[in-house]
């Protein structure tokens, strides 16, 4: 395997935990603790994503090498790598949880590619760290498959996300009580290597603000700006309140764009705790996430959240705002003025509404958003929720042919018996107003459909597909993992022979664990 070039900016430029023993503890005044992955008995590569590998100049043969496998399993440390776990805190389900940190994620460091871009490599499930609290530092195959494929699926859908380089099984058995109901069982252990510019989260700043460790707060903020928002240095200098305010406004902006994309493709993150919010506006930490099958804006896949449904689909923009408020509170000591923070938060809400409208206009093939179009969008969302309608199939049908009535949409309905006369006429009247609105646009019909097909995916990583791949993999057959990875590479393009993966959720998956409900156990 060719050498990876490490540029360990995070560990070299930020304060370290002086204690280097690997024992659980509260870590003060430090951004990270140095810790090596725990070696595993018999790692086996399940899959690698060649596009992610290419980002760090690794070829197919590099990824198939024994050296690659040993590094990705944590059994050997690549030359130049200085593995570390990050210290962060966070609000979990609305409550301040104190120190969390990388409890099972170990960063190998930042690798530079031939274009001098930096990619942080991180092994998830690589063993205990000082932040492991009461847990084992490991990850199971089930949740690792979900994270691995979904990261790449989101990337190919055009949704900002952390990437996944590879997935391997460790040969270890890991105990998990999937539904937290007193039935623990052994599952295959696994590791995913994730990639991102950095894995810095809102919680990395929150922990310093909460502990009143303002020197470290400033150091981390300056580091983040210098390396990831360097254009801000053209207008301001580090240390000036304005630069932190401008940076916060950018974080608001990228977070908004990410959420709008989630709404576009029907993604529900499931655990939007502040420790799961990337400072880069990337989708991060794929846990009990899910995809809307039938368009139910109140749906959450996360059983832990079943009661309050804090993280349900249509709540995501509000939660993003709430999380940004928490970040604003943490950055306040650097600015000492609430005004610019409030302005950014207000702007974020305006931007969200604006971008949501543009996104919906795009899904419906409108050349431009016009005042009043929101009525069409809102009516449609109501209709989609009245009877069980597959969101992805509905929009795709609309992107593929002229729809004149319910008859043309039958493929999208889960329970055609729910179609009443009332529904039929409401849908007819919506289609009528939609067609009327389209006649204001000069774009030819074919071109419009082509544009719609670029924002309305044909293939999403449906919850039940993930579960099917998991069931097979747990039996030792990883073929479906690779087949799905291949599928999600071109989510907007009709793929011959792949029709079964565009189908709506089958009835058996309606209320099956893993398909429509997931716990945080991973
Ligand atoms: P999550 O809900 O997965 O974002 O995790 C919340 C916190 O729990 C983070 O600090 C994780 O590092 C930690 N955590 C989750 N699972 C484990 C595990 N198996 N071992 C150690 N820490 C974990
Ligand atoms: Mg997390």
pLDDT tens digits along 154-187: 999 999 999 999 999 999 999 999 988 999 999 9
Three-point CA angle 234, 241, 9, nearest 5°: 60
pLDDT, average across residues 194-212 = 98
* End-to-end alpha carbon distance in the chain: 31
Rg of the chain over all Cα atoms, to the nearest angstrom: 23
Regarding the beta carbon of 284 and ligand 1, being less than 6 Å apart is answered no
Percentage with pLDDT > 70 across the chain: 100
pLDDT of residue 78 exceeding 90, the answer is: yes
pLDDT, average across residues 298-315 = 95
Regarding the beta carbon of 520 and ligand 1, being less than 6 Å apart is answered yes
pLDDT, average across residues 72-94 = 98
8 Å CB contact between 463 and 406: no
pLDDT of residue 513 exceeding 90, the answer is: no
Greatest C-alpha distance within the chain? 71
Q: What tens digit of pLDDT does each residue of 415-459 get?
A: 999 999 999 999 999 999 999 999 999 999 999 999 999 999 999
Rounded CA separation 263/271 (Å): 15
DSSP state of 314: G
pLDDT of residue 465 exceeding 90, the answer is: yes
8 Å CB contact between 270 and 312: no
8 Å CB contact between 106 and 129: yes
Q: What is the pTM of this model?
A: 0.98
Rounded CA separation 300/519 (Å): 11
Paired tokens of 398:
């609309």
State the ligand closest to the CA atom of 520: 1
8 Å CB contact between 15 and 34: no
Catalytic positions, please? 275
Regarding the beta carbon of 175 and ligand 1, being less than 6 Å apart is answered no
Q: What is the mean pLDDT of the chain?
A: 97
Distance from residue 273's CA to the centre of ligand 2 (Å)? 8
pLDDT of residue 520 exceeding 90, the answer is: no
Rounded CA separation 251/45 (Å): 36
State the ligand closest to the CA atom of 92: 1
- Residue 512: predicted pLDDT: 87
Distance from residue 103's CA to the centre of ligand 1 (Å)? 5
Regarding the beta carbon of 521 and ligand 1, being less than 6 Å apart is answered no
8 Å CB contact between 469 and 149: yes
pLDDT of residue 226 exceeding 90, the answer is: yes
Query: Helix, strand or coil for residue 169?
Result: strand
Percentage with pLDDT > 90 across the chain: 96
Distance from residue 144's CA to the centre of ligand 1 (Å)? 13
Distance from residue 105's CA to the centre of ligand 2 (Å)? 9
State the ligand closest to the CA atom of 522: 1
Rounded CA separation 40/170 (Å): 6
Three-point CA angle 95, 100, 101, nearest 5°: 145
Paired tokens of 226:
């210098």
DSSP string of 187-236, one letter each residue? EEEEEEEEEES---BHHHHHHHHHTT-HHHHHHHHHHHHHHH-GGGGGT-
Rounded CA separation 183/105 (Å): 26
């Amino acid at each position: 395997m060719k050498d990876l070039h490490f540029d360990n900016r995070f560990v070299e430029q930020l304060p370290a935990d002086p204690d280097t023993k690997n024992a659980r503890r509260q870590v003060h005044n430090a951004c990270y603790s140095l810790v090596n992955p725990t070696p595993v008995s018999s790692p086996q590569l399940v899959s690698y994503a060649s596009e992610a590998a290419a980002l760090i100049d690794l070829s197919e043969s590099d990824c198939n090498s024994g050296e690659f496998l040993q590094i990705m399993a944590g059994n050997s440390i690549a030359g130049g790598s200085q593995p570390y776990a990050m210290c962060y805190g966070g609000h979990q389900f609305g409550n301040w949880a104190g120190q969390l940190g990388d409890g099972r994620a170990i960063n190998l460091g930042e690798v530079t590619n031939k274009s001098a871009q930096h990619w942080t490599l991180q092994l998830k499930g690589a063993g205990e760290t000082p932040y492991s609290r009461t847990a084992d530092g490991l990850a199971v195959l089930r949740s690792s498959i979900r994270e691995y494929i979904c990261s790449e699926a989101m990337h190919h859908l055009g949704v900002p996300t952390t990437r996944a380089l590879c997935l391997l099984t460790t040969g270890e058995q890991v105990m998990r009580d999937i539904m937290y109901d007193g039935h623990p069982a052994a599952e295959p252990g696994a590791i995913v290597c994730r990639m991102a510019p950095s894995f810095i989260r809102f919680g990395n700043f929150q922990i310093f603000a909460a502990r009143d460790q303002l020197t470290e707060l400033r150091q981390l903020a300056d580091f983040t700006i210098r390396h990831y928002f360097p254009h801000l240095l053209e207008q301001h200098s580090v240390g000036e309140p304005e630069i932190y305010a401008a940076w916060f406004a950018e974080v608001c902006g990228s977070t908004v764009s990410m959420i709008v994309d989630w709404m576009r493709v029907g993604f529900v993150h499931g655990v939007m705790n502040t420790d799961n919010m990337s400072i880069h506006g990337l989708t991060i930490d794929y846990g009990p996430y899910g995809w809307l099958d039938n368009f139910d804006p109140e749906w959450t896949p996360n059983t832990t959240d079943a009661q309050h449904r804090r993280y349900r689909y249509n709540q995501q923009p509000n939660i993003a705002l709430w999380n940004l408020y928490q970040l604003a509170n943490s950055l306040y000591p650097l600015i000492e003025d609430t005004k610019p923070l409030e302005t950014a938060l207000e702007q974020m809400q305006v931007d969200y509404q604006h971008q949501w409208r543009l996104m919906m206009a795009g899904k419906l093939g409108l050349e431009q958003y016009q005042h009043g179009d929101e009525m069409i969008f809102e009516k449609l969302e109501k209709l989609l929720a009245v009877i069980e309608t597959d969101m992805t199939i509905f929009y795709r049908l609309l992107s593929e042919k002229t729809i004149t009535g319910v008859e043309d949409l039958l493929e999208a309905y889960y329970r055609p018996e729910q179609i009443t006369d009332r529904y039929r006429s409401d849908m007819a009247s919506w289609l009528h107003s939609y067609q009327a609105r389209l006649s204001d646009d000069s774009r030819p019909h074919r071109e419009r459909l082509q544009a719609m097909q670029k924002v309305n995916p044909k293939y999403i990583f449906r919850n039940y597909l993930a579960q099917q791949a998991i069931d097979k993999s747990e039996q030792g057959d990883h073929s479906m993992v690779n087949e799905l990875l291949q599928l999600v590479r071109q989510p907007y393009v009709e793929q011959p022979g792949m029709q079964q993966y565009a189908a709506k959720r089958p009835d058996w998956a309606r209320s099956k664990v893993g398909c429509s409900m997931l716990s945080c156990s991973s």
